Amino acid sequence: MQIATRLRHTREALGVNQREFATRANLKPNRYSQYETRTRPLTIDAAHRICDEYGVTLDWLFRGDRSTLPHRLAINIAQIEAAESGH
């Protein structure tokens, strides 16, 4: 799974739209949209802002390691992934 997909899954698991997700993390919505659509690579600064606001980790965003995510968020992300894969 790629970074853009992990960003989208995180946002969807939190139940917010792109604009709200970006604004709460002090990111410009248009720039955040580019991260999700793979138009622009996620910067470390933006990743830190997302981590600080939403309690996710750099390991999750960049490496896909869910082990340190908040439990409810990890469950919600797993459900989204399962639904997308048809399981």
- pLDDT for position 1: 58
- The answer to whether the beta carbons of residues 1 and 64 sit under 8 Å apart is yes
Q: Which domains does the chain have, with CATH numbers?
A: 3-85 (1.10.260.40)
Neighbours of 83 (CB within 10 A): 10
Q: How far is CA 67 from the centre of its chain?
A: 15
Give this prediction's pTM. Answer: 0.93
- Binning pLDDT at 50, 70 and 90, where does residue 81 land? very high
Position 84 scores a pLDDT of 92
Give per-residue pLDDT as tens, 7-62.
999 999 999 999 999 999 999 999 999 999 999 999 999 999 999 999 999 999 99
